[in-house]
Amino acid sequence: MVDNKLIDVTFKKYGLRKTSFRKNLFELFHNSLNSLSAKEISLRFSTSADKVSIYRALDSFEKSGLIHKVPDKNNLLRYSLCKSECTPNQHAHDHAHFLCSVCDETFCLDDFTLPSTKSHNGFLINDLKIIMEGTCVSCKSI
């Protein structure tokens, strides 16, 4: 369960309306160790949430800078909670993403440092991502 104060502060910071659905969605992200797809979100809601609301909420959360897209093994839309430093315009994701070949989950490896380059052969680089594939900690030990 997430503290009401955190919800207030967060929603205010990101300029989001506090509807009960979006508060639940935020809680879900907050309590999830890794990323979420629309389908996973749908399954985790007891009261069946409309998929359109899910998609629109995700879109809105992303635009505000609260969550960010992460890669997915099956090309699904998939999101993770942003770090507190992120703003709508500037995301501070200096971490790598890890896709587990066994469980298909996506993990953020927060402490993996990315190379910092601004351009390469005339290509202007605004954003650089590292995506790893392999076996995650949990699946390794099975």
Partner DNA sequence: ATATTAAACGCAACAAAATTGCGTTATAAA
Partner DNA sequence: TTTATAACGCAATTTTGTTGCGTTTAATAT
Q: State the Cα–Cα distance between residues 128 and 139, nearest whole angstrom.
A: 27
Maximum Cα interatomic distance, the chain, rounded to a whole number of Å: 52
33 φψ region: left (φ > 0), alpha (ψ -120 to 50), beta (else): alpha
Q: Tell me whether residue 30 or residue 39 sits nearer to DNA (CB atom).
A: 39
Site membership for a second copy, residue 19 (CB under 8 A)? no
Q: State the Cα–Cα distance between residues 62 and 110, nearest whole angstrom.
A: 19
Q: State the Cα–Cα distance between residues 130 and 117, nearest whole angstrom.
A: 13
Q: In a 3-state reduction of DSSP, which class is residue 45?
A: coil
Q: Which of a second copy, DNA, none interacts with 71 (beta carbon under 5 to 8 A by kind)?
A: a second copy
Site membership for a second copy, residue 90 (CB under 8 A)? no
Give the dihedral of Cα atoms 14, 19, 21, 24; nearest 10 deg.
Answer: 60
Minimum distance, C-beta of residue 79 to DNA, in the bound complex (Å): 10
Binding mask 121-140 for a second copy (x = CB under 8 A): xxxxxxxxxxxxxxxxx--x
Q: Which of DNA, a second copy, none interacts with 140 (beta carbon under 5 to 8 A by kind)?
A: a second copy
Minimum distance, C-beta of residue 126 to a second copy, in the bound complex (Å): 4
Q: Which of DNA, a second copy, none interacts with 16 (beta carbon under 5 to 8 A by kind)?
A: DNA
Site membership for DNA, residue 14 (CB under 7 A)? no
Binding site for a second copy (CB under 8 A): 71-72, 75-77, 96, 98, 101, 107, 109, 111-112, 115, 120-137, 140
